[in-house]
Structure formats: C-alpha cells, structure tokens
Amino acid sequence: MIIGIDIGGTNIKGIILGNQKVIAKVKVSTKSKTNQKIILDQIFKCIEKLIKKANHVGHTMSHIKGIGVGVAGPVDFKNQKILNPPNVIALKNLELGKLIEKKFGIKTIIENDGHLMTLAETILGAGKNKNNVVGITLGTGVGGGLVIDKKIIHGENGTAGEIGHMTINEHGRKCNCGSRGCLETYLSELGIRKTSYEFFHKRIKSYDLHQIARKGNSEAIEVWDEIGKSLGVGLANIIDVFNPEIIVVGGGIARGAGELLINPAKKEMRKNVLSESAKKTPVILAKLNEYAGAIGAGLLFN
Ligand SMILES: [Zn+2]
C-alpha cells in the first residue's frame, strides 16, 4: 500500500493505492498560501486521515510502503527540495520529504505535479501501454511532463517538462515567471479569462465559457478556437522536439472544455509540425480525474 498526495493552491488531495487501484480518497483545504505552519498542518492532516482509512480496511502503518508527494512548480528531485512553487509560496526551498519522513517514519518522495499527472496517465490512464508520453495539465497554471518507458524524465536539474513556460509569442502577454508570451498566459484559467475579455469585453470563467459554447454561442466557440490555436502551437513545438507516441492533455480546464479545445488545437498542430508522420501524433484528453496527481505520486513507489 502506498499513499499519494497532491498539494494544490486550494486543496490537498490524497489517495491510498493498493495493487495500482485507488482504495481511498481524501481532500482537505490548503487553507493558506503564505503560512508554512498552516499548510504543513493541513498536509499532515491529509496523511493522518489516509492512515486512518487504511486502518479501517485492516492495514497498519507498517503496510504503507511509501508516501509520494506532488507539488506545483519546480522540484530539485536529486536533493528532494521544493524550489519556487507559484501557488503555495510558503513551501519555497522546503525539504518537505524529510519533514514528512520524520513525522510518520515512512519513506517519502516529492515530485512536480505535472510529472506525476503524466506518470499516472501513462500507467493507468489515456497513455496506457505507450512508451513515450508527453502530458500537459491546464489549470491555475500550465504544467507537464515527459515519461519514457514508465520513467519520468527530469533533465539536468529536475526542471524538465515546464511546458507552460514555453514561449509561443515573444511579444505576448506578461507571464508570472517574468517572461512574455508563455503558453501559460493563454491556457491557464486567467489566460482564458483574458482571451474571453478580448471577445466579450468581460472576463468569463473557463467553466461558463464552455457552458455557453455548448449552447451554441458562436463567439464563445470562437474564443475556444483561439485558445485551441495557442495550444496547437505548443503541441507542434513539443512534437518537433520530442516526437512522442502520444500527448495527453489533462487538468480541470481540459476536462471541462474537452473537444471545444482539443479539436482546434489538433488542427493548428498539424499545420505547424514538420514531419508528415508526426502530424498524426494522437492528442487525447486525460482519463483520470482530479486525483491524477495524487495517483501519480503513489505510483512513484511502483
Ligand atoms: Zn512563464
């Protein structure tokens, strides 16, 4: 049995995995983005609740093989240190794995959440039986990962897979990272609201935007076409560099918008990819739900 948790800006989600199946789920509020003690208490609370659930199904602490932890933003994987998380800034430079190990006496590994979503989709979701998978996750931020032969590719410093900060328009919108025109400035929740403003003169939530598009509002469909085009440029860059077997697109925004986003993205991707054979790269929606990151964290002990 393994515990997987995923620390987000709003919630901390946790699961127990047994034989690659989710046997329990827990969600607690992150409560703070800036107070380290409050966030740590919430992380510990999430793990304690999972241990309690494991007890209920007849397992003791000694049956728990490990705790995998996902966080948004770059992680120094070698030194098991969170670098600069954009959504939970209080965890900056924290050796969170060591703290959890000390508290519970269970081996703990920390990892970037985009990497974990990609790992989870590769082993249990849309990329099952594929060997060379790129994942993109669209939510508050835009993350991603590259998994080859069921192993996460970390790169030299552990920061590979920051797909959200690929520049797709050097004169484009200002990004939180300090750069301009990053994919995230178009595909994150805020980016989508900004694009909707250009059409509707008001910022519309991605949820409302796909709801009205599905009712046939042609302007809303056009907004998704525009956002899809930006994603398509990003996909083409990824394919030209990595030539993956498949690209899995996940996260709350992709789950909600579905084909409204994916179809125009694929069209734009085909226009921009160099090789004829690579134009056929499947781009598909993720299959796992909002617990994908936590499941990926559990699979670190696979
Ligand atoms: Zn950026």
Question: DSSP assignment of 1-65, as one string?
Answer: -EEEEEE-SSEEEEEEEETTEEEEEEEEE---SS-HHHHHHHHHHHHHHHHHHHHHTT--GGG--
Q: What integer pLDDT is reported at residue 59 of this predicted model?
A: 80
**Residue in 76, 73, 116, 117 with CA at minimum distance from that of residue 97:** 76
Using CA atoms, how far apart are residues 279 and 262, in angstroms rounded to an integer?
A: 15
Q: What integer pLDDT is reported at residue 264 of this predicted model?
A: 98
Q: What integer pLDDT is reported at residue 203 of this predicted model?
A: 96
Parallel/antiparallel/unpaired status of strands 142-148 and 246-250? unpaired
69, β-bridge pairs: 5, 110
How many angstroms is it from 270 CA to the middle of ligand 1? 24
Using CA atoms, how far apart are residues 278 and 70, in angstroms rounded to an integer?
A: 31
Helix intervals (H) in the chain = 36-56, 96-104, 113-124, 184-187, 189-200, 206-214, 218-242, 252-257, 259-272, 292-299
How many angstroms is it from 158 CA to the middle of ligand 1? 17
How many angstroms is it from 164 CA to the middle of ligand 1? 7
How many angstroms is it from 266 CA to the middle of ligand 1? 23
Contact of 110 with 97, CB cutoff 8 Å: yes
How many angstroms is it from 84 CA to the middle of ligand 1? 13
Rg (CA), the chain: 19
Q: What integer pLDDT is reported at residue 50 of this predicted model?
A: 96
The dihedrals phi and psi of 125, each to the nearest 5 degrees, come to -120, -135
- pLDDT tens for the chain, 302 residues long, are 999 999 988 899 999 999 999 999 999 999 998 899 999 999 999 999 999 998 888 888 788 999 999 998 889 988 899 988 877 889 999 999 999 999 999 999 999 999 999 999 999 999 999 999 999 999 989 999 999 999 999 998 888 999 999 999 999 999 988 999 999 999 999 999 999 999 999 999 999 999 999 999 999 999 999 999 999 999 999 999 999 999 999 999 999 999 999 999 999 999 999 999 999 999 999 999 999 999 999 999 97
How many angstroms is it from 163 CA to the middle of ligand 1? 9
Q: What integer pLDDT is reported at residue 88 of this predicted model?
A: 83
How many angstroms is it from 287 CA to the middle of ligand 1? 27
- Count the residues in the chain: 302
How many angstroms is it from 63 CA to the middle of ligand 1? 41
Per-residue tokens: 18 = 């047994």
| Residues with C-beta atoms within 5 A of ion ligand 1 | 165, 175, 177, 179, 182
Question: Edge to edge, what strands does the sheet with 132-138 contain?
Answer: 151-152, 142-148, 132-138, 246-250, 283-285
Contact of 64 with 106, CB cutoff 8 Å: yes
Per-residue tokens: 45 = 């609370």
pTM, two decimal places: 0.95
How many angstroms is it from 284 CA to the middle of ligand 1? 24
How many angstroms is it from 180 CA to the middle of ligand 1? 7
Using CA atoms, how far apart are residues 128 and 83, in angstroms rounded to an integer?
A: 30
Q: What integer pLDDT is reported at residue 159 of this predicted model?
A: 85
How many angstroms is it from 150 CA to the middle of ligand 1? 28
